[in-house]
Amino acid sequence: MDAQPSPDEPREGPVTGDFAAAREAIAQAVRVAESALALLRAELRLARSSALLLVWLSFLLVFLGVGAWLATSAAIAVGVYLLSGNLFYGIGSVALANVVGVVAVLRAMRACWRDLALPRTRRAISRFGEARA
């Protein structure tokens, strides 16, 4: 007597292979979607932290700008008044340090603006669109 397979046992054949391939394709698609979502979440966290840093750097830029303006004004007034350069060099160095600080803050702000554009997610989405075409 031949033993009949129970309905719970998988049958061998082309249909079973197709279902296994479809199941594997769906599992891979889910993994790709989870990876894309993880990338988006990571980039959104980076963008949020960059946005907060951008707010603080803008406050810093205001204070440094006011400081550079006051120091430059004082340097010009003292330079004109004394015509000697002693005090002028001292106050001028403070103004120069403030200008260097403004340049450093502007460079940091530019890096934050780049992060807010979500470049990695955009690249991943464009690659996903190219793969589908």
pLDDT given at position 90: 67
Classify residue 21: in a domain, yes or no: yes
Judge whether 38 lies within some domain: yes
Length reported for the chain: 133
What's the confidence (pLDDT) of residue 56? 92
Specify if 8 maps to a domain. Answer: no
pLDDT at 14: 64
86/79 Cα distance (integer angstroms):
9
pLDDT at 65: 86
Q: What is the pLDDT of residue 96?
A: 78
- Parent domain of 82: 14-132
Domain count, the chain: 1
State how far the Cα of 56 lies from the Cα of 111, in Å rounded to an integer. Answer: 14
Does residue 74 sit within a domain?
Answer: yes
Cα 45 to Cα 54, 68, 113, 120, distances in angstroms: 14, 34, 14, 13
Report pLDDT for 74. 76
Q: Note whether 121 and 40 are within 8 A (CB).
A: yes
CA distances from 70 to 73, 80, 92 (A): 5, 15, 11
The answer to whether position 102 is within a domain reads yes
**Sites in the chain below the pLDDT cut of 50:** 1
